[in-house]
Amino acid sequence: MITRARLSDRARAVIDDFANHPGVTPDHVGCLRAAIYSSPALAQNFDNAVRGGTLDRLRPLPESSSAGGTYEATHRSISFPLSKLNRANVDEATFVLGHEVQHALNRRETSRADQAFFDDLDRSARHDQDYTRPIARVVRAHRRDEASANIAGWNALADRLRQRHSDLTLEMIRNAARWRSLDFVERDRTTRELRPRGSLVILADGRIDPTPTNVEAMARAYVDRLPEATKLGHNGNSDYANHYGAWAISVAAQKHTTHHPSKPSLSMRVDLEQLHLDRSLLEQNGVDLGQRRQPIPLVDATGHPPTDHLLHHTAASHRFVPIADRPDLNGTSPVPARLARLGFASRPQLRTVTQIAATATRSQWPTSLRTQRVRSDFGARDGP
């Protein structure tokens, strides 16, 4: 049964305004309209986000970006590369829009998590300067945000296909989703039939309910992937843990110096392994130390004894600074920042710091605690 999608005047105005951006052609707008109106589930979410005040505009994404789409909470905007907006890519556009619109719908929940994070940092700065727990909590919140957004992307595409195929199958959704389907389905090794990945539950009509169990299953399949699969961040070599971790540790560092302005040698304490963070990827994603740009002493509480490092301001350079940070407790030079298990799931180490170090010039991270970062940097992965 075909369901007609309806949008409010305000939602239609957001789409119309997209046409006013430089470089946007009627074909781009046509693809955008086709994606939204062909999926009633997406149209409803889009309308709800606009009505709810968490989505105000659509914008082109620079073609130099490694992202397939982004939601920026500060400007309440969704951006995507114009090269992906064409008649041959309506299915892809539907998935990406479904994903990013869900970020807009999640905005208030993630904002509450951010505010709790700021409060937790204040307490840690006054108490023991160990910022592991606050960072862990806020990154977990954004892990859930990403997982629920990916489910919404799948549901938007499945709903679009369901309008044309009353007998919709997983095979049809997989063919339309292409490489994005790898997060959702896999082939049974014996029967070669498609089945949901892991503990994910896909209903008979192709929908995935965003239950806590399904959100966790999607987090494991999608958010916990290796950097080679996610290709996030300024240099396109980060996973989600270090992508959001760079923002979190930047805020923690600025809170740290705000509480202790006369103690530049006072170390921050963070358990990098527990958080699955790596200083190289953090600095390549862009660490923002605020107005005070001097490196901050950082104690990695992972080992016994803990390891001393320096955290560098790299918001503009996006370069890892592979220097001998500080002598350890025995007075010898420490090992360069070790590559922790990457992502959120437990994984083996993959490559050395020198292999993943890269240079770049564009900054995407905040210049103050008042500036929020992009909520999503939806990876534009290569196909399988």
Mean pLDDT, rounded, for 349-353: 28
- Establish whether the linkage from the previous residue to 327 is cis, with ω within 30° of 0: no
Q: How high is the pLDDT of residue 8?
A: 95
Q: Is residue 196 located within the same domain as residue 81? A: yes
**Boundary-marking domain end, from 182, 197, 223:** 223
Query: Is the predicted pLDDT of residue 222 greater than 70, yes or no?
Result: yes
Tally DSSP H helices, then E strands, for the chain: 13, 9
**Boundary-marking domain end, from 190, 223, 256:** 223
Q: Is residue 64 located within the same domain as residue 201? A: yes
58: which 2 tokens? 């659509």
CA distance 182 to 105: 25
CA distance 313 to 286: 7
Residue percentage of the chain with pLDDT more than 70: 83
Q: pLDDT (tens digit, 9 = 90+) per residue, 121-145?
A: 999 999 999 999 999 999 999 999 9
21-25, 102-106, 306-310, 324-328: least confident range? 324-328
Q: Is residue 266 located within the same domain as residue 179? A: no
State the total domains in the chain.
2
CA distance 355 to 266: 31
Alpha carbon distance, N-terminus to C-terminus of the chain: 33
- Bin 278: left if φ > 0, else alpha if -120 < ψ < 50, else beta: beta
CA distance 212 to 220: 12
CA distance 33 to 55: 16
Q: pLDDT (tens digit, 9 = 90+) per residue, 225-271?
A: 999 888 888 898 999 999 999 999 999 999 999 999 999 999 999 99
**Boundary-marking domain end, from 223, 255, 273:** 223
Mean pLDDT, rounded, for 191-199: 94
Q: Is residue 193 located within the same domain as residue 236? A: no
Using pLDDT thresholds of 50, 70 and 90, give the confidence band for residue 46.
very high
39: which 2 tokens? 């999926």
- Bin 352: left if φ > 0, else alpha if -120 < ψ < 50, else beta: beta
Q: How high is the pLDDT of residue 378?
A: 55
Listed residue (164, 163, 157) closest to 208, CA to CA: 157
Q: Is residue 335 located within the same domain as residue 217? A: no
CA distance 285 to 377: 12
Residue 383 placed within a domain: no
Q: How high is the pLDDT of residue 333?
A: 32
Residue 168 placed within a domain: yes
CA torsion sign for 180, 183, 185, 186 is positive
Query: Is the predicted pLDDT of residue 68 greater than 80, yes or no?
Result: yes
Q: Is residue 33 located within the same domain as residue 170? A: yes
Angle between helices 40-51 and 9-18 in degrees, nearest 10:
100
Q: What is the mean pLDDT of the chain?
A: 84
CA distance 92 to 157: 8
305: which 2 tokens? 């004894």
Residue 68 placed within a domain: yes
115: which 2 tokens? 């505010």
Name the residue with tokens 């589930």. Answer: 41
45: which 2 tokens? 């979410």
Residue 331 placed within a domain: yes
Q: pLDDT (tens digit, 9 = 90+) per residue, 166-185?
A: 999 999 999 999 999 999 99
Q: Is residue 353 located within the same domain as residue 246? A: yes
Residue 334 sits in which domain range?
232-370
Using pLDDT thresholds of 50, 70 and 90, give the confidence band for residue 343.
very low
Residue 341 placed within a domain: yes
Q: How high is the pLDDT of residue 334?
A: 34
196: which 2 tokens? 């949901």
Neighbours of 9 (CB within 10 A): 7
- The burial of 4, by beta-carbon neighbours within 10 Å (0-12 exposed, 13-18 middle, 19 or more buried), is given as exposed
Q: Is residue 52 located within the same domain as residue 186? A: yes
Listed residue (315, 363, 362, 309) closest to 338, CA to CA: 309
Query: Is the predicted pLDDT of residue 344 greater than 90, yes or no?
Result: no
Q: Is residue 67 located within the same domain as residue 154? A: yes
Residue 94 placed within a domain: yes
Using pLDDT thresholds of 50, 70 and 90, give the confidence band for residue 4.
low
Mean pLDDT, rounded, for 282-292: 94
Angle between helices 132-162 and 107-127 in degrees, nearest 10:
170
Higher pLDDT, 284 or 381: 284
Higher pLDDT, 66 or 8: 8
Helices (H), 192-239: 212-218, 227-230
Residue 282 placed within a domain: yes
Q: Is residue 153 located within the same domain as residue 268? A: no
Helices (H), 169-239: 170-177, 212-218, 227-230
Q: Is residue 151 located within the same domain as residue 210? A: yes
Q: Is residue 358 located within the same domain as residue 294? A: yes
Q: How high is the pLDDT of residue 229?
A: 86
Neighbours of 83 (CB within 10 A): 12
CA distance 293 to 271: 23
Strand partners, 299: 269, 308
Query: Is the predicted pLDDT of residue 382 greater than 80, yes or no?
Result: no
Three-state DSSP state, 156: helix
